[in-house]
Amino acid sequence: MTPEVYRVVREQCCDKLRQFFDIVATPIEGPEKKDFGDLDFFVALSNLNEYPPEKPAQVAIELLGAVRHKMEQAKVVAMAIPYPEELHTGSETPQYIQVDVHIYQDHRDVEWMLFKHAHGDLWNLLGSSIRHLGLTVDEQGLWVRIQEVEHQNKKLARVLLTRKPSEILEFLGLAADGGQWTTPFKSKEDLFEYAASCRFFWVRPARSDEDATGGSETDKAKLKANDRRRMKQRPLFRQWTEEFMPKCREEGRFSEPRATREQVREEAFERFIGSREAYDARLLAWQIQRQRETLWNGIIKPSLPDCLEQQYRSLVASALKKIILNGDTSFIIQAPADLKDADGLFNEDKVRDWVLNHWKAVGDAAAAIHAQRFAASKAKKESTDTKRTVSGSKKVADETVSDEKVSDEKATDEQATDEKAKDEKASDENERIHACRLKGYARSC
């Protein structure tokens, strides 16, 4: 839809949605947009919990007169509304406009979503500029990523710093006192310059002479999969990558890295209270879990002699794992407390030495326990088999008596059936003879 249609429909929808929702707003649109694909509304209802879960979305659908709708997520309803009659293009085919309504209870959620989606692709530009420093901005807030964890578990690697827009802008060094967050930028160039004013923005050096004179292969090579997808789908992001950044490189702007990942992390810890503790706790929990895997496969099992019989070796390794990693005391032998440090991490050298010195004793204890359990299991099985034999004998006797009874009943039934068949045959024969006599040829029958 054209910008004119977009603004008319936006105002009409806002007026209708305000009949029910406390807060209704749309994000600041990107600069120089010549057409719009859909409209996004972020709404809040303070007493949302007083209604059935489906009620707010249903009200939004009815208020906007949607002809079709679909729940995209728990709080997002996508709908098609009729094209305004006063703006009708004259097409005989019915036209519709897609509207997405995001429903929240807390006004702070609306404030965050408006901030995150303001200026179209702005946060895509900023996100690609701060990612290498271990920072991420998503639908929940600003996060610092744990470098040791992110390649194994992206979700676990993130530690929330803040979701307050003012704190994020201050930390990134972005101005907010010149109307940057109240009105759209006048041009794409203005938006690019604002994104480049982030104190962490840096243009990588050229990989070749072609890059240095305007090519963009250096910038493309560092793009993640999501960014490469944006290159194809988002014209503004493509222009940022293929035009603005190479131009900055050619002019020698932003050529010096302004911070390292470690420096940014320390600044974040100083700026956001509690983030250091949360970061360290998350990292330690991951290290402990990770070490359990490496100790088992890299220390305990390899420390056992290769000459051990396979079944016995498995028995010993399993017992060592239970004693060392799980604190199992059923083997009498216990692992010393000094195998772990104060944080709960194992000293791998001490673990290796303890296994080398105690595997035989652990093996003897494990074998004894295994023998006891085997004997108990065998005795229980024999007891069960004995009960089954006694029960089976009684069952056989009962079945014999039952079979004899059934056999007698069956013989009686068969005798009665034979007698009945004979009677029926005799009756049929008498009727046939009687019929023949009536016809006068009984002799031939």
- pLDDT tens-digit map of 99-158: 999 999 999 999 999 999 999 999 999 999 999 999 999 999 999 999 999 999 999 999
Q: Is 254 left (phi over 0), alpha (psi -120 to 50) or beta?
A: left
Residues 317 and 304 sit within 8 Å (Cβ to Cβ): yes
- pLDDT tens-digit map of 36-64: 989 999 999 988 888 888 899 999 999 99
Reduce the secondary structure of 212-251 to three states and give it as a string.
HCCCCHHHHHCCCHHHHHHHHHCHHHHHHHHHHHHHHHHH
Buried b (16+ CB within 10 A) or exposed e, 395-427: eeeeeeeeeeeeeeeeeeeeeeeeeeeeeeeee
Specify the pLDDT at position 413.
60
Q: Are strands 38-44 and 96-104 parallel, antiparallel or unpaired?
A: parallel
Percent of the chain with pLDDT strictly greater than 90 = 65
pLDDT of 210 over the 90 cut: no
Check residues 326 and 219 and name the one with the higher pLDDT. 326
Specify the pLDDT at position 226.
73
Residue type present at position 108: R
CA distances from 145 to 153, 261, 367 (A): 11, 10, 47
* Mean of the per-residue pLDDT values of the chain: 86
- Stretch 75-100: mean pLDDT, rounded? 86
pLDDT of 233 over the 70 cut: yes
Specify the pLDDT at position 380.
87
Specify the pLDDT at position 443.
28
Q: What is the pTM of this model?
A: 0.75
pLDDT of 378 over the 70 cut: yes
pLDDT band at 220; cut points 50, 70, 90: low
- pLDDT tens-digit map of 153-176: 999 999 999 999 999 999 999 999
Specify the pLDDT at position 397.
53
Q: Residue 220: which of 235, 242, 244, 202 has the closest Cα? A: 242
Instruction: Look at the domain 1-118 and name its fold.
Output: Beta Polymerase; domain 2 (3.30.460)
Specify the pLDDT at position 301.
93
- pLDDT tens-digit map of 294-339: 999 999 999 999 899 999 999 999 999 999 999 999 988 999 999 9
* Residue-wise DSSP of 237-306: HHHIIIIIHHHHHHHTTT-S----HHHHHHHHHHHSTTHHHHHHHHHHHHHHHHHHHHHIIIIIGGGS-T
Tokens 């652990």 — which residue?
362
- Stretch 195-200: mean pLDDT, rounded? 97
Q: Cα-Cα-Cα-Cα dihedral of 239, 242, 244, 249, to 10°?
A: 170
Specify the pLDDT at position 198.
97
Specify the pLDDT at position 436.
34
CA distances from 404 to 181, 247, 263, 393, 394 (A): 98, 104, 94, 17, 16
Residue type present at position 209: D
Q: Are strands 142-145 and 68-73 parallel, antiparallel or unpaired?
A: unpaired
Specify the pLDDT at position 103.
96
- Stretch 215-221: mean pLDDT, rounded? 56
Across 71-75, 152-156, 226-230, least confident range:
226-230
pLDDT of 394 over the 80 cut: no
Burial of 171 from C-beta contacts in 10 A (0-12 / 13-18 / 19+):
buried
Q: Is 227 left (phi over 0), alpha (psi -120 to 50) or beta?
A: alpha
Percent of the chain with pLDDT strictly greater than 70 = 82
| C-alpha distance across the termini of the chain, in Å | 103
Specify the pLDDT at position 444.
29
Specify the pLDDT at position 273.
97
Check residues 211 and 88 and name the one with the higher pLDDT. 88
pLDDT of 440 over the 60 cut: no
Residues 9 and 97 sit within 8 Å (Cβ to Cβ): yes
Q: Residue 111: which of 185, 194, 198, 44 has the closest Cα? A: 44
- pLDDT tens-digit map of 424-437: 544 444 443 333 33
pLDDT of 215 over the 60 cut: no
pLDDT of 280 over the 60 cut: yes
Residue range(s) occupied by CATH 3.30.460.10 in the chain: 1-118
- Stretch 74-89: mean pLDDT, rounded? 86
Specify the pLDDT at position 120.
92
Across 47-51, 195-199, 409-413, least confident range:
409-413
Vertex 308: Cα angle to 303 and 309 (nearest 5): 140
pLDDT of 22 over the 80 cut: yes
